[in-house]
Amino acid sequence: MGLLGHALTLKVGLLFFWTTWLAIVFLTNLCSGLKALGVLPDTWKFASQNFRAVAGATAVYHAPRWVPALLFTGVIVWQLVAVLFFGWAFVSSVQAGRLAWAPIHAAFATALALWAAFMVTDEICKQYDTQSSHVSLFTAQLLTLVSLHLLPS
């Protein structure tokens, strides 16, 4: 395999990484929501603490209980869409033997918009401790997208 083959493998590997990572984030958040609803027991380990974090962040404005539930549901749906787009980008690129730009751009646009929305929400809810991780994820995904465009295929 020549240098160009390795570059394509790296690029497709990056798409696989983001697909996998976002799928895990989606699943742990889904489980967090299911724990909050009482569907899963409190002892369930495969769950994020993100529902609790959203509820705490909105509590600063004395929001009713349905507000964090609605916001968290929106996040979970958004993450699922991002996972599906990244999966589409990965599978399409593997099948084509080259990068499939339309699904790649859809995936990154969806995920970058999610991190941007988190950053704005962090400011509104004064969640400065979590903002740095959202900025880091936004930066990492943007750098990945730029790398996909600039590295040779």
CB 103 within 8 A of CB 111: no
Domain total of the chain? 1
3-state secondary structure of 37: coil
CA quadruple 76, 82, 83, 84: dihedral, nearest 10:
110
Q: Which residues lie below 8 Å from residue 74, measured CB to CB, with a gap of 6+?
A: none
Domain that holds residue 18: 3-150
CA 119 to chain centre: 13
Show pLDDT as tens, one digit a residue, over the chain (153 residues): 544 478 889 999 999 999 999 999 999 999 999 999 999 999 999 999 999 999 988 888 998 999 999 999 999 999 999 999 999 999 999 999 999 999 999 999 999 999 999 999 889 888 888 888 999 999 999 999 999 999 887
- What single DSSP character describes residue 78? H
